[in-house]
Amino acid sequence: MPKVLLLHTGGTLGMAGGRPSALRPSAFFRTLKARVPELFDLADIELELFSNLDSSEMQPELWSGMAAHLYRRLPDFDGAVVTHGTDTLAFTASALSFMLRGLPRPVVLTGSQRPLGKIRTDARLNLIDSVLSALNGPREVTICFDSHLYRGNRTRKVKVAEYDAFESPNFPVLGTLGVDATFEPGLRPKGAFRLLEKLDPRVFLLKVYPGLDPALPLALLPHVRGLVLEAYGAGNFPIDPSLGRSLRPLFAQARERNIPVVVVSQAFRNGVDLTLYESGVAALEEGAIGGGDMTPSAALVKLMQALAYHSSLDAVRRFIQAPVAGELTVGRPPAPPAAPQRRRKLHAR
Ligand code: ASP
């Protein structure tokens, strides 16, 4: 029998309650055995409790602990499934993908929109599909949700109350778990399995919007070591000094303070090209780092890791602009995912 490690961290999947009382973490393992007994026919599942948190409580220190735990335990298993809340799932998946290098086995993260104990829960299928993906899917950090397997660091939570809560806007799915389950080969492990668990969380994610007073982010600079700017479209932001809200001084002062600024896009599809418009060119002149088609969450976590391992701006730039775990498209982007991306399904009671 193949062996799968099931590491529980919390989230709706394992919660009890619901209106009128709030959902809260509950006794997950008992419910799991009662509600998904077939999970234990698929593999010899070893259950471990890492935490029991609503994922809005997830923090970088916990990512490091989780990565260290997986690094220690993974060699004894054929794959791992991590159950996690959906709210910060994309951040955790990005962090694990950057920390666990040369991954020799699949690490599949999952969660659910309805708790496991509820009728019409999506947790049962997500768990079964995740164990299948941990046994047969690519050796990388993925998110398995609503019959699809995504590269973890490419995903975004896009829906609050529907089962197809995740999308991978700039990268094709790595697996489809329909009537048949099919998987892509995914990343090839580079080098020996190793752990890079250090992060510097002193970063800030700033979203550009009409009316943003540049004095606000300027006042932040003494308190941060790195910035991710979620710019408009291809990497744009206001630079006209006559309109009073140019962000150019922010880039200039960040550079003076040796603070890297990574620019990503607010748009979901495609990425930034800082050579295309005047503001992007100004950002480049001030030393900004184009984040390509990385998601803002992947860029933020990658910057935390860059700052923990590199001190010069050039080294941080090189690190950000080279893919670590397939989080960034270099050169020609892959063909967009075939539309429609997913089939409608009826979940039987
Ligand atoms: N608040 C929950 C969490 O992220 C939401 C979920 O799991 O879907 O833990």
For residue 337, tell me if it sits in a domain: no
21 and 146, same structural domain? Answer: yes
Say which CATH number the domain at 253 has. Answer: 3.40.50.40
- Which of 170, 196, 222 is where one domain is finished? 196
Asked if residue 240 and residue 280 are part of one domain, the reply reads yes
Q: In this structure, is residue 32 part of a structural domain?
A: yes
Tell me: do 78 and 144 sit in the same domain.
Answer: yes
265-297 pLDDT, tens digit per residue, is: 999 999 999 999 999 999 999 999 999 999 999
- Looking at the fold, whether 80 and 33 belong to one and the same domain comes out as yes
- Local structure of 192: helix, strand or coil: coil
**What residues make up the domain containing 237?**
203-321
Catalytic annotation on 275? no
pLDDT at 25 over 90: no
Is the same domain home to 71 and 220? Answer: no
Query: Chain-wide mean pLDDT for the chain?
Result: 93
Nearest C-alpha neighbor of 283 from the set 316, 249, 259: 249
Is residue 117 within 8 Å of 35, Cβ to Cβ?
Answer: yes
Statement to judge: residues 182 and 208 lie in one domain: no
Q: 22 pLDDT exceeds 80?
A: no
Among 12, 31, 86, 110, the active-site one is 12
Are the CB atoms for 137 and 80 separated by under 8 Å?
Answer: no
Q: Whose CA is nearest to atom 3 of ligand 1?
A: 85
Q: How far apart are CA 147 and CA 76, in angstroms?
A: 27
Our answer on whether the CB atom of 14 is closer than 6 Å to any ligand 1 atom is no
Q: What is the identity of the amino acid at 262? A: V
Residue whose CA lies nearest to ligand 1 atom number 7:
85
347 band by pLDDT with thresholds 50, 70 and 90:
very low
Write the CB contacts of 345 (distance below 8 Å, at least 6 apart in sequence): 147
pLDDT at 348 over 90: no
Q: Would the pLDDT of 204 be above 90?
A: yes
The tokens describing 315, both together, are 């080294």
Using the mean position of ligand 1's atoms as its centre, give its distance from the Cα of residue 305 in Å.
Answer: 25
Q: Cβ(115) to ligand 1 under 6 A? A: no
% pLDDT > 90, the chain: 87
Q: Which helix (H) or strand (E) holds 252?
A: helix 248-256
Q: Whose CA is nearest to atom 8 of ligand 1?
A: 86
pLDDT in tens, 36-78: 999 999 999 999 999 999 999 999 999 999 999 999 999 999 9
Is residue 161 in a domain? yes
| Claim to verify: residue 25 and residue 87 sit in the same structural domain | yes
Tell me, what CATH number does 187's domain have? Answer: 3.40.50.1170
pLDDT tens digits for 294-317?
999 999 999 999 999 999 999 999
Q: Does residue 12's CB lie within 6 angstroms of at least one atom of ligand 1?
A: yes
Whether residue 173 is found in the same domain as residue 284: no
| End position of a domain, from candidates 146, 173, 196 | 196
- Global pTM value: 0.93
Ligand 1 atom nearest residue 89's Cα: 4
Q: How far is CA 166 from CA 110, 124, 258, in A?
A: 11, 17, 36
* Residues 156, 85 within the same domain: yes
Closest atom, ligand 1, to C-alpha of 12: 7
Point out the ligand 1 atom lying closest to the alpha carbon of residue 112. 8
Instruction: Say how many Å lie between the CA of residue 186 and the centre of ligand 1.
Output: 27
**Interior angle at CA 206, CA 200 and CA 211, nearest 5:** 160
Q: Give the end of a domain, one of 178, 196, 214.
A: 196
Total number of domains in the chain: 2
Please write the tens of the pLDDT for every residue from 110-119. Answer: 999 999 999 9
* Residue 207 maps to a domain: yes
Query: Looking at the structure, do residues 221 and 163 belong to the same domain, yes or no?
Result: no
- Average pLDDT (154-170) is 98
User: Position of tokens 């079964």?
Assistant: 128
